[in-house]
Amino acid sequence: MEATRTGIAWVAAALLALGGCAGTGTTRTGGGSASAKKAAPIQRVVGDPAPGSKFSKVEIGMPMKQVYDLIGEPTDTKAYVTGKAFIPFYFGNDASRFEALYKGWGRIVFTGANAFGGGSYKVYQVINDRHEDGYNN
């Protein structure tokens, strides 16, 4: 008798589990989730540099030292970590960024350091902005 009750309990549990997996027959249509949509690529050069300006000499991928030797030291700088710094076991070179602010010219964004502080910074983005005040506000 005990075996019959146990068997009935197992059958009931299986039917409940299978019933929970049944669909309603409707399909979902629409735009999808936000994560399914592709993000727009990062614009590497923002704005147009003035002809003959300092920023027209800067190229994506240049080392920080070469940029400073070419166009001079910035008015101010800013450093910050990216979201990738918080990904467990991320060993890539985009865990932090470094911005060089040039008054009246714009900003140069460098990347290349890993979460442990190693690596060398290279130009990631050039932002041409004649209204840049040059200070990290």
Give one DSSP letter per residue of 25-94, joined into a string: S----SS--GGGSPPPPP-SEESPPPTT-GGGG--TT-BHHHHHHHH---SEEEEEE-GGGGSTT--SS-
Best-predicted range by mean pLDDT among 30-39, 87-96, 119-128? 119-128
Global pTM value? 0.65
Q: How many CB atoms lie within 10 A of CB 28?
A: 5
Reported as a single tens digit per residue, the pLDDT across 3-45 is 666 667 666 666 555 555 554 554 444 454 554 567 667 778 8
